[in-house]
Amino acid sequence: MKSVHNLLSYFFFLFLASAALTEANIADFDETWQKRAEIAKAKAKAAYVPDPETITNSFNADVQRHDDLAQNTTRRSLRGGSRKGGPCRATNPIDRCWRCRANWYRHRKRLATCAKGFGHKTTGGLRGNYYVVTDPSDDDLLNPKPGTLRWGVIQTAPLWIVFERDMVIRLSEELIMTSHKTIDGRGVNIHIAHGAGITIQFVENIIIHNIHIHDIKAGNGGLIRDSLTHYGLRTRSDGDGISIFGSSNIWIDHVSMYNCMDGLIDAIMGSTAITISNGHFTRHNDVMLFGASDSFSGDAILQITLAFNHFGKGLVQRMPRVRWGFVHVVNNDYTHWLMYAVGGSQHPTIISQGNRYIAPPDPNAKEVTKRDYAPESVWQQWVWKSEGDLMRNGAFFRGSGPANTRTFSRKDMIKAKPGTFVKRLVRYAGTLICRPNLPC
């Protein structure tokens, strides 16, 4: 009887695994992927913060400290180049950590000390060598050529990946990353475009910085190498710009993204410890999805910071849409939406602090928030709070739930400035024009 029970348990595990891996675009859930999934789950559990408000409080303190320093510092001390050609004014605490240093080119890895919010422990390829992408092609999915981006991201060792020159990289199929990598597009103009997107799956410790991602298409799948020692059969990819799946300690900073077939950024299937900052997002329908489905309770550990981003022209909805987890939406500028800005289902906690929400002209789209698949008697218990947000053009945030009692460390929670400060804080959102020996 015991052997029968063990056999049934084994097949039940395979059923659950295959269901999860179907969404993961993995056609062959072999021993390698099983091991990766188990390790990633343990890493995500370790990265999860039981008292997340301590993180938001830390973020809040950093913003306040930055503003106090900025007010007490002369403009001369912040002078230098910027993407707009004027003085370098680091307008938020993440940028102040590195942007106005003329020697950033010789000390690129300083960036790894600058993350804030839930992704603050992310260091990417800090402990690895530099790898220079010299070839924008992506012709061989099983044996990528040295010099290509795909060759760099499948290496076992940590790597800090930079680029020799301006490039438009059309990925033939999804770019599957290994752990401990930084993709750093500073100093050049890098576009991941007109092909597949970036997949961060069952890994940890990834930084994606200062690149354009747009016009991403669904991939056809097939045999794709995902590490030096393994390749496997993949199903069709969805067409996300960046897909985060079962991964932790992820920082996405200063990206410009638009017009992807599915989402711009998705974080699902037990991903956590993520910061998305200083991004510029435009021309898209379903912008960000955090949480795989209402039935997958594994996303309860999801913890994400959205900070200093500009949600701009041509956006429709999901900035973000959240299930299960905890999201700190702090000092972002929402200048455009057609349906709603922040939504969710399955009782997520959403703390909105110091954002600017400018409602569209449509009188039926003034509400910032949208709740799905629950009657009011149920969603009134969800903790959705608006604190210090600036509402313009009739925008309103429908709050709910009791006071948030969860606590986080100072490093996990960015302290919000009032919404009136947002235009300045997000002034340099999106990719920056950085030149050697000049501040960015």
Token pair 């489905």 is found at: 293
Token pair 């022209």 is found at: 313
Spatial strand order in the sheet of 390-392: 167-169, 190-193, 212-214, 256-258, 280-282, 310-311, 333-334, 356-358, 390-392
CA separation for the pair 241, 218 (Å, rounded):
10
Is residue 40 within 8 Å of 204, Cβ to Cβ? yes
The phi, psi pair for 26, rounded to 5°, reads -100, 115
User: Exposure string (b/e) for 147-180, b if CB count within 10 Å is 16 or more?
Assistant: ebbbbbbbbeebbbbbbeeebebebbbbbbbbbb
CA separation for the pair 422, 200 (Å, rounded):
30
Is residue 413 within 8 Å of 275, Cβ to Cβ? no
Closest CA to 52 of 400, 326, 345: 326
CA separation for the pair 38, 4 (Å, rounded):
24
Whether 234 is catalytic is: no
User: What is the separation, in whole angstroms, between the first and last Cα of the chain?
Assistant: 68
Q: Which two tokens stand for residue 27?
A: 């056609």
Closest CA to 223 of 235, 215, 211: 235
Q: Which of 36, 186, 234, 318 is catalytic?
A: 318
31-47 vs 2-23: helix crossing angle, rounded to 10: 80
Q: Which two tokens stand for residue 309?
A: 């981003």
CB atoms under 10 Å from CB of 5, counted, come to: 9
**Alpha-carbon dihedral of residues 348, 354, 359, 364, nearest 10 degrees?**
30
Token pair 């569209």 is found at: 360
Q: Evaluate the omega torsion of the peptide bond into residue 320 and state whether it is cis, within 30 degrees of 0.
A: yes
Q: Which residues pair with 253 in a beta bridge?
A: 209, 277
Active site residues: 318
